[in-house]
Amino acid sequence: MSADKPSLSEHADAAPIVSIDKLHVHYGAIHAVRGISLEIPRGEVYGFIGPNGAGKSTTIKVLATLIGRFHGSVHVNGIDVADHPHAVREQIGYMPDFFGVYEDLNVREYLHFFAAAYRIPRQQRKTVVDDVLELTDLTHKIGDQVDSLSRGMKQRLALARVLLHDPDLLLLDEPASGLDPRARIEVRELLKALTEMGKTILISSHILHELAHLCTRIGIIETGEMVAHGSLEDIYRQLQLMRIVHVQLTDADDTLIQKIGQIDGVSSVEVQVDRFAIQLREDHTAVEDLHDALVDLGARIHMFQPEAMDMETAFMKLTEGKTA
């Protein structure tokens, strides 16, 4: 491209794809991001977690080159975001938390419009659009109006859009919020496929368990500061997360209860009036795997209800340093 493009020597493969050092962002008197530093190695899925207003979107917008005024140093693929925003834009696919309104556009028109905006040559556009539609499983919706799609399909379409120019880094702001469980699983599967294609993903959420089994690294931020970060195991160790799953079984006997207690990751089984409270270490075993293990033991499940693990609980554990 232009003089905007830095030399290739800056793109060493071993270098982190995202590198943020002491980032500060102010909106007038509001100090929204207060000294965040983080690095994301290539190929990782980095979960950026924090309650509403913590500064996740602001940090992501800085990486997306949408906020010009900030302090600190921010690099994508070794390229300085402040000095070379245009070069950075070629490396990233940014999906904002708000989809926008696209009246009177069908899926084909929508994607061709963005393909043109990304300056993909006209003769390549059809192939590229077909490819991203296939990847996001939206080929059958090509003629549908964008506004008529379900929220889950809109999210997949938004992902299709940010994949058009084949970026190395995907910046996804709350892609799973407001989705029903099925759509959430679909998004999760899609993100998995993208990491297998070698993409690096930064994904934000205010719900820890929404990202827990998707991410290879997690950063938890609160009021503009990073309060915990590391691999999922590090975070679980710091938070000492223990999930309670309430279960009602028909025909449960002592042998079965004893076997449940021996499932990997189960730390205790408490017999209550009409149910069991199973304590599960989620760093060992996912809730879904506990369900499978119960079925494998021949348990007839009448009710299976994991307690919600929300940010508030997680933060309380983090700040109090207590075990659940």
- Residues in contact with ligand ATP by CB under 6 A are 27, 30, 32, 50, 52-58, 97, 206
Choose between 62 and 149: whose C-beta lies nearer to ligand ATP. 62
Choose between 2 and 52: whose C-beta lies nearer to ligand ATP. 52
Assess contact for 143 and 110: CB atoms under 8 A: no
Burial of 322 (0-12, 13-18, 19+ CB in 10 A): exposed
Choose between 58 and 136: whose C-beta lies nearer to ligand ATP. 58
Beta sheet of 30-40, edge-to-edge order? 30-40, 18-27, 71-76, 79-80
Q: Are strands 200-205 and 217-222 parallel, antiparallel or unpaired?
A: unpaired
- CB of 65 vs ligand ATP, minimal distance in Å: 16
Say how far apart CA 44 and CA 199 lie, in whole Å: 8
What are the b/e assignments for 35-62, b being 16+ CB within 10 Å? ebebbbebebbbbbbbbeebbbbbbbbb
Assess contact for 191 and 203: CB atoms under 8 A: yes
- CB of 177 vs ligand ATP, minimal distance in Å: 8
Say how far apart CA 290 and CA 41 lie, in whole Å: 31
- CB of 170 vs ligand ATP, minimal distance in Å: 17
Choose between 84 and 154: whose C-beta lies nearer to ligand ATP. 154
Assess contact for 51 and 206: CB atoms under 8 A: yes
Tell me which residue of 107, 118, 117, 166 sits closest to 141, measured CA to CA: 107
- CB of 240 vs ligand ATP, minimal distance in Å: 24
**Which tokens is 87 given?**
């070069």
Choose between 50 and 265: whose C-beta lies nearer to ligand ATP. 50
Choose between 27 and 113: whose C-beta lies nearer to ligand ATP. 27
**Which tokens is 44 given?**
């990782």
- CB of 27 vs ligand ATP, minimal distance in Å: 3
Choose between 128 and 208: whose C-beta lies nearer to ligand ATP. 208
- CB of 54 vs ligand ATP, minimal distance in Å: 4
- CB of 52 vs ligand ATP, minimal distance in Å: 3
